[in-house]
Amino acid sequence: MENSFLQTYVSIDCVVFGFDKSQLNILLVQRDTPHSTGTEWKLPGSLIYQQEDANEGAHRVLNELTGVKTMTLRQFKSFTSPQRISNLCDVDWLEATYHNKIERLITIAYLSLIKINRKFNSVSKYKTVDWCPISELPQMPFDHNQIVKEALEEIRSWVERDPIILFELLPTKFTASELRRLYQAIHHREYDVRNFHKKITRMEYLLPLEEKQEKVSHRAARYYKFDRVMYNKRKISL
């Protein structure tokens, strides 16, 4: 072990969650595979620059990807195994993309949340950016499948500490059943409808509106909205 300290490139990879109908989705980008064998989906990410710290890098990636300037972002884990770029395709792709021979690469994974119907204003280097339901994730390069798996665990425990993040995934006005389905998707279990209504009645930071759904072929559901001020009052009283 002669003084051979690791000197390495560092990337960030972002697991961006969106919620639609009953499913969590993740934002994926398409890359060309090096030997023109087609395309492949991966997590959006980038090497970080000399002058940046990881947070800045993550913001940059997401801004390039979506045009959104500020979004909720959380660093959740670093992936450092030397084997994470053992696949030759990945090695070649890195060299083609960054014009550097890269033999080792650690990545810092971020988790982020966005309303899924938000319009993107992308200046992205990627040809295609799209939502992918977490139940239908493709095989991805590097350890991206593992990163997503850990991101799912992380989002669960984050919601428990700070339920505010649920409302970053829902539209400004949402129905009780949208919120319930989001809970179900995140906690991966069913909630009884009646019990769930009682639960949201107890959350004083959820304001029921007069407004209801229109033109739905069943009884119209009431809209709710999230009241940040009430929420913050609640939190300090814990």
Partner DNA sequence: TCAAAAGTGTTCGATATACACCCATGC
Partner DNA sequence: GCATGGGTGTATATCGAACACTTTTGA
Query: Which CB sits closer to DNA, 127 or 212?
Result: 212
Rounded least distance, CB 22 to a copy of itself, Å: 23
9 makes contact with a copy of itself (CB under 8 A): yes
146: three-class secondary structure by DSSP = helix
Output the six-digit token pair for 17.
């969650």
Rounded least distance, CB 61 to DNA, Å: 36
Residues that contact a copy of itself, how many (by CB under 8 A): 32
Query: Which CB sits closer to DNA, 34 or 163?
Result: 163
Q: Please give the torsion angle defined by the CA atoms of residues 233, 70, 110 and 203, in that order, rounded to the nearest 10 degrees.
A: 20
Q: Which of 75, 87, 121, 128 binds a copy of itself (CB under 8 A)?
A: 75
Rounded least distance, CB 222 to DNA, Å: 4
Contacting a copy of itself within 140-199 (CB under 8 A): 157, 161
Rounded least distance, CB 169 to DNA, Å: 17
Burial of 35 (0-12, 13-18, 19+ CB in 10 A): exposed
Cα 61 from chain centroid (whole Å): 12
77 binds, among DNA, a copy of itself, none (CB under 5 to 8 A by kind): a copy of itself
Query: Which CB sits closer to a copy of itself, 145 or 157?
Result: 157
5 makes contact with a copy of itself (CB under 8 A): yes
Query: Which CB sits closer to a copy of itself, 80 or 122?
Result: 80
* Residues 69-89 as b or e (16 or more Cβ within 10 Å = b): eebebbebbebeeeebbeeee
Query: Which CB sits closer to DNA, 101 or 215?
Result: 215
> Which strands, in side-by-side order, build the sheet including 23-32?
39-42, 23-32, 129-133
Rg of the Cα trace of the chain?
A: 20
